[in-house]
Structure 1
Amino acid sequence: MDNFITNKRYDFENLLSKKHYFRSLMEVLHSNNLLNIREVESIQLQLLDILTEMVGYYTRNKSSSVRVEVANQIMLSICYTIGLFLKSQSTIEESITLIKNKEVKYLFYHGGKVLKAKVDECKRLFLVVKETRLQTENYAYIDTISYGIPLFFKEYDVRFASHETPGSIDYPLAIDEMNLVGIEYIEDYLNKIILENKFCSHFDGSEIKVLLKEFNKDSNHMLINIFQLAVTNYLGCTLIGKDSRSLEIIKGDRTYLKSIMKDLSQVEFRRLILGATEKICKELFIKDKNFTEYINNTVLKITPEIKRCIETNTLEKIFITLGKSEENILKYEDGKSLDDSRFRNITEEIRDCSRVEDKIKIIREEFHSLKDLIDAFSSDCIFDDEFIDIFKALDDFEVALLIKSISNNKALDNYYGTESEKEWHEKFNKYLESLDDTKKVELITISQGISM
């Protein structure tokens, strides 16, 4: 039998589910006659014994039964926990030996120990994420680290729902393992975002900030991966032969890139890209195998898009020029405004909030146009110094848009509208006056480069 298992090892691995590892392994073993029906029934009975015990814990021994849906969820949790222990073995042969020779309760007990160790490790990894976090204004990135991941640790139920992934993980990775769930998904996510943060730390934060703005003026509101944008532009710089750790690519660079890549065969193109990727890792002194592999996989992911952009003469979409714009003027197009009914409901919700932090969260999530934001300022749902806190929560471009919108009407000090309009203008003036002169000039300069 051992020889048969060894010969079938890779077939097994291809058939196993990452989400339902234990159950899929059982099915594969039975279908290949490595577990007979009597052994399968024995395992099922042992699982039911564990379920009965867990239901007792769930109801605090007040009842021996629960709804079918709850029982199914607890059973999924039991199987997930057992799967963690089996996955932790060095080989699939060891996992099979355990299933055949050990009681299911033994597997469940040791799976619980693996689970607890993973939770502790993920808490440690999260500290590293916070230590290496990027200084960015991308809301998905900020919310995921500040709220989403902590919410996972707060709500994760290791006993009755170890297979669930609570929390709000909105920020996309360059390569996201969507086949994982529970603590395994969080562990994979944290390890990868640490790698992404460390890569981006090699570059000037202001360059990355501009890179995002030039990718899309609404990049702060988009579900985009910052690392992928950075690695793409640095790949372009490396292909050109630039020595400095800059992400800057100009129009002439793109012309050169097209000239050296447009006639390459698929094999030659791939060899050129992977050679540049290897050079990137050497230049940044990246030697960790997982790190280099992650960079390689990300580059391979974007390679078809590079090829397509060469063919369609649109390399500017993937290798981005830093700076305000090619013409030095940014034409701003406002986002879609909410209909009147929806707008009223949101402003009433804002008005009912007692904490300015909650008002800021609603504004961030619900308003995607400058018009809606300005209308909200004049809707008697924000009061006194709440305006100042909200202005502080805006990014530089949004503040510049407010400056531009007011200056397009009349000078800041002389504009007279409704009482609500006058109030937020006065608070906005107060906020601008609180800034140092350098910052104020920077914001005004940005506003002057916007065409509305």
Structure 2
Amino acid sequence: MANIEKRHIIDSNNLSGESYFTSILKEAYACGLLYDSDVENIQLQCIKFLAYKSERYNDGESSSIRVETAENIMKSNLYTIGLYLKSLLDVDCAVNELKTTMISEMYKKGRELINTKFHTAKHIYKLVQKNKLITLNYTYNATLNEKGIGIFFKSYDLDYEAHESPASIDYQLCNPVTDLAGVEFIQKYLENLCLENEFCRNFDAEDIHHLLCGYDEGYKDLLINIFEQVLIAALGCLLANRNVVKLNISGKDIQRLHNELSKYDDYTLALKIRKATEKMFEELNITGLSLRRYIEKSLPKITSTIVYAVKTNTLSKVFVSPINPDLKPKIHFLSGVKMGDEDYRKLIEELFICRYSHDKLALINEKVKSFDDLEDVLLDAQLSEAEITSIFGTLGDIEIAAMIRRHPFKSDIQAVDLSETEQALRLYLKSYIDQLAADRQEQIFDMVNHLICD
């Protein structure tokens, strides 16, 4: 009888991790564990405590504040209390606390927990910085720097905006953090990222770079999860009986693997992937329970992807062969000699005076003799989209490729770092490229991958 599990009236699946206080209050009332009088008492205490916090917010001068500010402070209060209630043994204990303990007392205990979690998250952030991957991926590096998630530890308001997560986080995890807010979200995000880094550090940074180049040579600008790509590659190597550490699987390996996996039903294929995972744990000596669980949590999505790829004969889109971009033949592009500063200034002044586009284009064609000068003119001469597009039309493929190399089509996330003229130039360039024939586009982008601009 001692092993009989205690049953609870409230279904914990109905409780919100992000708004725990509000959800448990609602569920407890719906289940008859709280009466009207209990709810009214709790609401009255919350309002009184809000007045107290508002007065402190105003340094004791007054409790009168803007409605938006008061709402934000209330959300912060409820989040803090909810954090404490979540820390209790079970939902029954949480409901009992609501009935017997003052709001101010629950807030005090929650505030202590927030302080502890804040310092824990800060410690994990330092660990993540230590096991950070060496990669070219923009969102990964931007998220991990001081202007990314580092903002949180300078801007987080533990007293009045505890439910907020002030940070710039664009890097997507393999297992996203959901239904959490405030310091809880940051702590969990960092814990997951630390585990992803721990796994990836079993492999050489150069091998990961070559793997991601095989996925897409422009991976540095993609919203891509590195851990997921490395895990998939590692499983692919084991399924193909290749060295898991090198993450190297050839096109022939992938074709043979497809022929073999096509013989299995979904269940048997999932079992083979599971066995490959166990073998990976053994070969990489992954013994940590947290990392093993995180990898296992990632398997359903990866398994579904592999099963679908086998059925649709697209396994080469899932398992990719590494590419070493340094071994590709290079095209050296020389810009030419730039004009002097005084001559360039006079050219820009003349372009400002010109009324007609054909006069501007003729002047540029006559005066501009180097690629660097042309690039400067496109940014400085306040030309229209039609004028810039006309100039693009006079360039050869190699010059267009050089323009793309210098002004790549960046994501919206990265474009915020650019000036308005730089953003406009990239937009016009992309529009020009998009209207070219597909074979010419392919030829130009192939040149981009081989180009060295001196």
Shift of 1:378: 7.5
Q: 1:78 to 1:131 in 2, by over 3 A?
A: same
For the pair 1:205 / 2:212, whether they are aligned, the reply is no
Partner SS, residue 300 of structure 1: helix
Task: Give the structure 1 partner of residue 178 of structure 2.
Answer: 178
CA–CA distance in structure 1, aligned partners of residues 35 and 318 of structure 2: 56
State the partner residue of 2:46: 47
- The 8 Å contact of residues 239 and 276 in structure 1, kept in 2 or not, is answered as yes
How far did 1:39 drift?
Answer: 0.8
What's the CA shift for 1:320?
0.8
Are 1:329 and 1:449, in contact at CA under 8 Å, matched by a contact in 2? no
Measured after TM superposition, the shift of residue 8 of structure 1 is: 3.2
Q: Deviations over 1:382-425 (max 9, x none)?
A: xxxxxxxxxxxxxxxxxxx869989xxxxxxxxxxxxxxxxxxx
- Give, in angstroms, the shift of residue 61 of structure 1: 2.1
Q: Which residue of 2 aligns with 1:193?
A: 193
2:32 partner letter: N
The amino acid that maps onto 1:242 is: R
Distance of 2:448 and 2:58 partners within structure 1: 65
**Amino acid paired to 1:212:** L
CA distance in 2, matches of 1:23, 1:133: 38
Q: What's the offset of the Cα at 1:323?
A: 2.0
Conservation of the 8 A alpha-carbon contact between 1:324 and 1:330: no
After superposition, residues 206-285 of structure 1 pair within 5 angstroms as 206-285=206-285
**What CA distance in whole angstroms lies between the structure 1 residues aligned with 2:27 and 2:405?**
65
Q: Aligned-pair distance for 1:324?
A: 4.3
Query: How far is the alpha carbon of 1:245 from its aligned partner?
Result: 1.1
Secondary structure at 1:61's aligned position in 2? coil
Instruction: Verify the 8 A CA contact 2:213 2:323 in the aligned structure 1.
Output: no
The residue aligned with 1:364 is none
Deviates more, 1:181-190 or 1:255-264: 255-264
Write the letter of the residue equivalent to 2:20: Y
Deviations 1:21-63 (A, max 9, x none): 0110000000000011111111111111110111011111222
Structure 1: distance between partners of 2:7 and 2:297 = 29
Once residues 374 and 6 of structure 2 are traced to their aligned partners in structure 1, the CA distance between those partners, rounded to angstroms, is 67
Q: In angstroms, what is the RMSD of aligned CA positions?
A: 3.0
Cα distance between partner residues in 1 of 2:15 and 2:28: 11
Residues of 2 paired with 1:169 and 1:308: CA distance?
A: 31
| Counterpart contact for 1:403–1:447, Cα < 8 Å | no
Aligned mates of 2:127, 2:373 — CA distance in 1: 36
Match of 1:432 in 2: none
Q: Provide the residue aligned with 1:120 in structure 2.
A: 119
Q: How does 1:323-342 map to 2 (within 5 A)?
A: 323-324=323-324
| Matched-pair contact (CA < 8 Å) for 2:212–2:322 | no
Q: Deviations over 1:190-238 (max 9, x none)?
A: 0011111111111011011111222112211111100110000001011
Name the amino acid aligned to 1:250.
S
Tell me how far 1:289 sits from its aligned partner: 2.2
Aligned residue in 1 for 2:109: 110
Equivalent residue for 1:64? 63
Measured in 2, the distance between the counterparts of 1:154 and 1:290 equals: 29
1:273–1:307 distance in 2 versus 1, CA, 3 Å: same
Secondary structure, aligned partner of 1:8? coil
CA gap of 1:372–1:69, structure 2 versus 1, over 3 A, is farther
Preserved contact between residue 238 and residue 244 of structure 2 (Cα < 8 Å): no
Cα deviation code 1:322-375 (max 9, x no counterpart):
1248x96799xxxxxxxxxxxxxxxxxxxxxxxxxxxxxxxxxxxxxxx99983
Superposed displacement of residue 7, structure 1: 2.7
Deviates more, 1:18-27 or 1:271-280: 271-280
Is 1:47–1:104's contact at 8 Å kept on the other side of the alignment? yes
Change (3 A) 1:26 1:227: same
Cα distance in structure 2, aligned partners of 1:63 and 1:209? 58
8 A contact 1:404–1:450 mirrored in 2: no
2:128 pairs with 1:129: yes
Matched position secondary structure for 2:8 = helix
Unaligned runs of 5+ in 1: 332-370, 382-400, 407-445
- Closer, same or farther: CA 449–30 of 1 in aligned 2, 3 Å: closer
Q: Report the secondary structure of 1:245's partner residue.
A: helix
Cα deviation for residue 157 of structure 1 reads 0.9
8 Å contact from structure 1 (residues 214, 320) kept in 2: yes
Q: Is the 8 A contact 1:6 1:93 kept in 2?
A: no
1:77 aligns with 2:64: no
1:122-157 Cα distance to aligned partner (Å, 9 max, x none): 110000010000111111111111121111111111
| Structure 1 ranges of 4+ moved more than 4 A | 327-331, 371-374, 376-381, 401-406, 446-449
Look up the equivalent residue of 1:199 and give its one-letter code: F
Deviation, structure 1 residue 109: 0.3
Amino acid at match of 1:154: K
Which moved further from structure 2: 45-54 or 111-120?
45-54
- Conserved 8 A contact 2:266-2:307: no
**Structure with the greater alpha carbon radius of gyration:** 2
Change in 2 beyond 3 A, CA 1:282/1:184: same
Aligned to 1:421: none
Segments of structure 2 that go 5 or more residues without pairing to the other structure are: 332-370, 382-400, 407-445
Contact 1:404 1:447 in 2 (8 A): no
Q: Distance in 1 between matches of 2:104 and 2:156?
A: 22
Residues 84 and 111, structure 1, Cα contact 8 Å, conserved in 2? yes
* TM-score, normalised by the number of residues in structure 1: 0.72
Identity of aligned residues (%): 32
Whole-Å Cα distance in 1 between the matches of residues 60 and 374 of structure 2?
57
SS in 2 for 1:26: helix
- Letter in structure 2 aligned against 1:164: E
Q: Residues 405 and 162 from structure 1, CA distance in 2 versus in 1: closer, same or farther, beyond 3 angstroms?
A: closer
Q: CA deviation at 1:379?
A: 4.5
TM-score (norm 2): 0.71
Q: Which moved more, 1:119-128 or 1:281-290?
A: 281-290
Give the AA of the match of 2:91. Answer: I
1:28 equivalent in structure 2: 27
